[in-house]
Structure 1
Amino acid sequence: MVFTLTGLALAQQSSYLPPSQSGPPFVAVTKLFPGGGSPPPQDPRVKMYQGNPFYINEGHRLFIWYNCVGCHSNGGGGMGPALMDNQWRYGGQLDQIFASISQGRPNGMPSWNGKIPDGQIWELATFVRSLSVPASTRGGPAQAVPVPPPPMTTHRPGKPVSEAPDVTSAPK
């Protein structure tokens, strides 16, 4: 009986986890506000993460590590919403993406608050945001580098074409 009561007391204590204090307190997912109100200010951490190549790279690593590819695929599209276009249901700004990852969204996106550290959620959000940046602003697709034609050699009948030097022998 004592063990049962102790177990219930411990279960009640651990069932409440305080909300994270480091996430954005309120992130607007719409431009419509009652009474013509203005949206809340942007989270100050956005400037630190936005477009930063280091955080984009770390976010890509975490995207694979936390198996985000299971729903969103490697390129950002799968059974979860595509991340490579500009169609954002809950806003495509960095703090809005952070909120979507942290708080979760209806119909499939779980809340990762308390399971993934906030710094890593910011890195994931930075990577996800980078997926939908137009190619013109991220350098575009790889361009083919022109390769010069091989040098012309003259071949006289009866003489072999010059061969490449032997690079396998040790220098003298």
Structure 2
Amino acid sequence: MKVEALAIPEVKLITPPRFNDPRGFFSETWNAGRFADAGVPGPFVQDNHAVSTARGVLRGLHCQVGANAQGKLVRCVKGAIFDVAIDVRRGSPNFGKWVGAEISAENWTQIWVPVGFLHAYCTLTAETEVIYKVTAPYDKPAERGVIWNDPDIGIAWPIAEEEVILSDKDKVLPRLRDCPPLFHV
């Protein structure tokens, strides 16, 4: 298993090994001991599977706060996404900074987004499927979000603004500077 810390070192890019043969391949995509050694602690309590039918679907910037704050281990099993984590821990030297990576069925990478980060991704291909594990259950009252194109964060999305497809909820999220503190270091 290859593990690479991104520019914000708490966010990790993970490439599990794939063993190919004439039948296809086998890959161990989660192993509690190996991932804990790599800085991905778990435990995970819920798996989510999202299908996006078009290129340009953008889901985020989301997090949950309080007792159900979530760490996320994200992988793309069909198509490709550009995945982003934004540090929103007040007092962190990386507060308001983002890191991103292409996650795809082809490159077989996963990204670990720890508690204290907003998370989002946009689809780079149609018919994209994303599966992710979370460390806390879904909790609607704990949901928080920031608008995807907040100029103070300045995410360099790899798609044009006119291509972005958002949910109604994500269209009206506030800027980070207008949110109460979400997390503290």
TM-score bucket of the superposed structures, by smaller chain: under 0.3
Is the helix fraction higher in 1 or 2? Answer: 1
TM-score (norm 1): 0.21
TM-score (norm 2): 0.20
Greater length-normalized contact order (CA 8 Å, ≥ 6 residues apart): 2
Higher-Rg structure is 1
Is the strand fraction higher in 1 or 2? Answer: 2
